[in-house]
Structure 1
Amino acid sequence: MKDLTVVLFERLGLVLIFAFVLTRTPGFRSLLYREFNRKMIFVHAFVFGLFGIASTMMGIIIDGDTVVIPNLLWSVENDQVAVSSSLVAVVIAGLLGGPLVGLGAGMIAGIHLFFLGGIGWLANVFVNPLTGLLAGLTARFFSQERVISPMKALFIGVFPPILQMQLMLVFHPHADHMVAVVDQIGLPLVLSNSIAIAIFTAMIGIVLKEQENEAAMSTRRALTIAEEALPFLEKGYRKEMAIGISNLLYERLEIAAVSVTDGETILAHKGLGADHHLPGEEIVTTISQEALENKKTKVAYTREEIQCQHPNCPLEAAIIIPIGASDHAKGLIKFYYRKAQHIRPADLVLAEGLGKLISNQLQAIEAERLKAYMRDAELRNLQAQINPHFLFNTLHIIAALFRKEPERARHITVQLANYMRFNLGLVSNSLIELERECEHVRAYIEIIQARFAGRLQITFHQARGISQVYVPPSTIQPLVENSVQHGLKNVIHNGKIEVRIEKMEDSIRVTVTDNGSGFPEHILTNAGEKELTKGEKSTGLYNVNQRLIRLLGEKSRLHIKNLPAGGSEVSFSIPMVIQKEVEVS
């Protein structure tokens, strides 16, 4: 019995090697994740049936009191008994695939044992499908577990060999030496089968853990790449974004090449084939159009699916990933490979994850832009509304001046017209030339000094060469207005406001100072960060500061402080040269 047990374990070692190879096949994953359909049931039943046949062929023969160990078990004489581990494959099929897979695998293994012959063939024919069916029904009790633990599998594996021994005694009661055979093979068969089933389930647990770790690594990698891609995605579907994304993906991933498209043409291509996959070429491949229309990741496994017309193109396979911020994909990212075999399951997981993450980021960026446009449009609409008190006071001054100083009255009228024309044009632009903003401020200063003649003096200093600098409209004028209405509110005479625009090394500095009362301490800490007056509908420091930050960047935010000699200073910086875009989009 001891020698028989050792022989069975030796043979099972070869069977387990075959089982280990089986766990590495791509289709085995569907069993682990319970992804069943009619086709997969037949496929898995057939595969495990072949596994059972292979286990039978690795079996041994009992010939009387002699144990025969063939290289492969091809046939059994009528007076011999075949002892195999086919039940290991059938039990595993039932535990993983359920009753139908177990039954199918058992029938295949049982039919093979029928043609093999020997004493006990009838018991073997019945025990294999019955064991597969019972193992599948038993697995339903552990349906909440992804894989049955080795200890439970060890316990379950004890019963099939016992059932086999009982059926051999039932179906062959007149065989003279059947009781002796059962006594001889019973315990070795129970030990070897149950331990083999436990080892196989442990293998499955290891495979599952490897897949989970691989998926976790792919997810973590996708998150890292998506985070690094965010600065490029904020540029929208433009060449700069495409070049940045393609360079990033090519450096981070082990792929032959990567392309980024806008849905119609190639924007950038990095890697092999760059000599003929040129930016500007139209997308003509059918699989790319399908990915755009269905918004699903597609895989091209052949050169014909890529449809590259270049005769020496080294790229034979690709993963096409749709990206977009709405219901329809607006662009594609393509991972190219030299061979279809180079596309691993982890690459597909990574590609799909990247596509979803990048699409979500684009959607968030688009929503933030839309929110910013709405906010900016609202602010410009508010700025375009001329304060009626300011208008009435200015008209009153003009009427008074016409009696004594008609020339000056005409001049103020022209400045008021310029001021109103500028305000009416605010709605159409997010950025204007700094020179136009200066003209607006001069018009406002002329009107204010006419209103507060003798009480207020405003000086304006402007550097030359600022024609290529852009600024949000109505940015400087609200600062001057703030000094007039708040800083110099209680100043009766000798009020002074100075507006200075200076060229620095790489920026333009705008400063507005006054000699008024300054900001109260409780206001100074929050000035520019929140609206100073609840419900106020005129343009304030908060609105100016927020628009500067959004349109020109954090470095252009307002800097507000009180001066030691009295009064306050509000300043900000503008980049020396910025590219003006239509509606800043």
Structure 2
Amino acid sequence: MILAFMLVNMRFFRNLIEKRTLKSQIWLFVIFSLFVVIANLTGVEISSSKEIVTPLIITGLPQTDSIANTRMLVITTASLTAGPYVGMLVGLVGGLHRVIFGGFSDYFYIASSVLIGYLIGVLGDRVKKNSLYPSSFWVAVLSLFAELIQMAFIFAFHGFGLIKLIFIPMILLNTIGSSLFIEILKTYLSNERQLRAVQTKDVLELTNKTLPYFRHGLDLNSAAHVCHIIKKYTKFDAVGLTDRVNVLAHVGAGQDHHIAGEPVITDMSKTVIATGKEKLAHSKEEIGCPHKGCPLTSAIVCPLQVNKKTIGALKLYFCEGREMTVVEENLVRGLAMIFSGQLAIGITEQQTALLNEAEIRALQVQINPHFFFNAVNTIVALMRVDVDQAHDALMELSTFFRSSLKNGQAKEVTLEQEKQHVEAYTKIESLRFPNKFTVDYQIEVPNETLLPSFCLQIFIENAIRHAFKGRKTGNQITVNLSRKGANLAISVSDNGSGIDPQILSRLGQEPISESKGSGLALYNLNKRLINLYGTSSQLKVLTGANGTTFKTTIPLKLAKKAN
């Protein structure tokens, strides 16, 4: 029992028995070999006249005497714990020591110990199935079997006299002892797993509650919320978060001098931030707070790291009279790792959003030059035949570019703003091609509805330029905006000649030369839709002999009214 309690309370030993590796088996062989020698030295000596001697430690054993001990208990538990090869080697050590210790007599102990170590290990592995150890029933059966084999060897070489004396006590001692030893290991490991499960649940619960704050980065506001949450759901007396220089939040004991927004003052935290390695303190001196009345007496400080760079620290404290347990230490380490991951995700999302926004800006900039050259050519042509119309076209172009500059500053504009922009565009085109087309609006949503900037204008421009080739009249464009649950359905249709099937699958997915029926505008618009709303909003195109329809569905949002 002493052996079992000593071993299970050593984290090093628990790590060895949870997974069989060459390294763990070597260490287990060393440990159990030590104890099998101790078992030989602390047995009960039986003289040739069957007199029982119980010295504290047996220093020598005459060849005529025997010894009853717990060697089989150690060999059996080694086999069940570490497998047949470790059990066999421990049996070899135990048998050799017994022979040397007994004046090089009774060599059968070597054979019996090796055989028992191997057999019990093999049988134990077979009956345990997928478990770490066999069931209590099988442990008892195998322990009894091991002792019976040993008794058979003793009977063969020493006869019935010695067996009669030691059979019952050794059978009971080693069988019950082996069973209790394995049961202690199983119970302790089971309790540890339960503690780990509780700890994991606590970490996941805290993670779930703190995630919304860390997603926005590490600042005074997010740190304060996170520290309050940790303080509420744990038993720590104080919780703190820092960046590389300043305290971002400190909740609980010591918050009168560990002040948010001011520099980090404890030596321990400075060291963790500088080295990127966690530290554990068990006294005020180790914490290193310069404030004389600081009540904090023990602490664990873990670095918060993103891309292997320390960006701050998580600090948890106890006051006098409270010690930090292993479970609490592991809890803090788990939180620090998850918080670091959350911060990394938040930073990545922010960078992705900035890149998407930059790309959207770049795509928007490409739209206006595309229309600008066509408009200038139209005005130049009109100046030759009708100066007044050229003047009107120039004024409409001015209106168009004013709205372009205004709308181009935003990713989304209101329906009203987009319609004004489209009307300026269609008036310019109508001056160039009088009576060629009409635009019919079927709108079921308010003017405050938000759309991607230039969205409708691009659809209408595409129809005017490509749908009505060879037709000067009777060309109709229909713009439909309707509510579809929580989404806005946008549809722009024409009654043109349809799109060439050869380019249909590429439309909006890649730039297509103008000569083949489409340009860069649809491709840019499709990329903006995906960046803004996801792939579910990408363009859908329906085409045939009776015309083409461009469709997209985006979240329905209304612009906030100014106070």
The aligned residue for residue 573 of structure 1 is: 557
Matching residue of 1:527: none
Given candidates 440, 449, 457, the residue that maps to 2:427 is 449
Deviates more, 1:323-332 or 1:485-494: 485-494
Uncovered stretches (5+) of structure 2, i.e. residues with no partner = 442-447, 482-487, 497-504, 512-519, 540-550
String of CA shifts for 1:81-129, please: whole Å, max 9, x gaps: 997754367447744575899699979x99xxx9xxxxx9879999999
Residues 175-186 of structure 1: matches in 2 within 5 Å? 180=161, 183-186=164-167
Change (3 A) 1:53 1:180: closer
The one-letter code matched in structure 1 to 2:324 is I
Alignment of 1:88-107 (within 5 A): 90-91=74-75, 94-95=78-79, 96=81, 98=86
DSSP 3-state at the match of 1:336: strand
Structure-1 residue corresponding to 2:303: 322
CA separation of 1:46 and 1:250: change in aligned 2, threshold 3 A? farther
Kept after mapping to 1: 8 A contact 2:88/2:114: yes
Q: Which residue of 1 aligns with 2:146?
A: 156
Report the Cα distance in structure 1 between the residues aligned to 2:228 and 2:239, rounded to whole angstroms.
Answer: 8
Map of 1:404 onto structure 2: 387
Determine if contact 1:449/1:458 at 8 Å carries over to the other structure.
no
Distance 1:43 1:235, change over 3 A: farther
Q: Number of residue pairs matched? A: 493
Counterpart of 2:455 (choices 473, 478, 483) is 478
> What do the CA deviations read for 1:525-557 (whole angstroms, capped 9, x no partner)?
xxxxx998444632677556556558xxx9x99
Distance in 2 separating the partners of 1:125 and 1:271: 70
Which amino acid in the other structure matches residue 188 of structure 2?
A: V
Q: Judging changes above 3 Å, is the alpha-carbon distance between structure 1 residues 577 and 205 closer, same or farther for their aligned structure 2 residues? A: farther
Deviations 1:350-400 (A, max 9, x none): 333333334344444444444444333333222111355522332134436
Say if 1:45 and 1:78 are closer, same or farther in 2 by CA, change over 3 A.
closer
CA distance in 1 between counterparts of 2:155 and 2:274 reads 61
Whether 2:242 is the aligned partner of 1:261: answer: yes
C-alpha distance in 1 between matches for 2:337 and 2:13: 26
Q: Matched residue of 1:329: which SS?
A: strand
In structure 2, the residue corresponding to 1:259 is in which secondary structure?
strand
Q: How does 1:551-566 map to 2 (within 5 A)?
A: none
Hey, what does 1:333 align to over in structure 2? 314
Structure 2 CA distance, aligned partners of 1:229 and 1:496?
49
Rounded to whole Å, the distance in 2 between the matches of 1:335 and 1:310 is: 17
2:71 partner amino acid: L
**Is the counterpart of residue 222 in structure 1 residue 203 in structure 2?**
yes
Mapped partners of 2:318, 2:108: distance in 1: 49
- Between 1:483-492 and 1:220-229, the stretch displaced more is 483-492
User: Match for 1:29: what amino acid?
Assistant: R
Q: Which residue is 1:281 aligned to?
A: 262
Correspondence 1:272 to 2:253: yes
- How far is the alpha carbon of 1:32 from its aligned partner? 2.6
Q: State the superposition RMSD in angstroms.
A: 6.0
Q: What residue ranges of structure 1 are gaps of 5+ in the alignment? A: 1-15, 115-119, 170-177, 460-465, 500-510, 521-529, 559-567, 579-585
Aligned-pair identity (%): 20
Matches within 5 A, 1:164-313: 180=161, 183-283=164-264, 287-288=268-269, 291-292=272-273, 297-313=278-294
Distance 1:75 1:494 in 2: 110
Q: TM-score, normalised by structure 2?
A: 0.63
Residue 200 of structure 1, CA deviation: 1.1
Matched, 1:32 2:13: no
Displacement after TM superposition at 1:215 (Å):
2.2
Output one character per residue of 1:171-224: Cα deviation in whole Å (capped at 9) or x when no partner: xxxxxxx98555322332133212211221122122222222322332343233
CA contact (8 A) 2:244 2:311 kept: yes
Worse-superposed segment, 223-232 or 369-378: 369-378
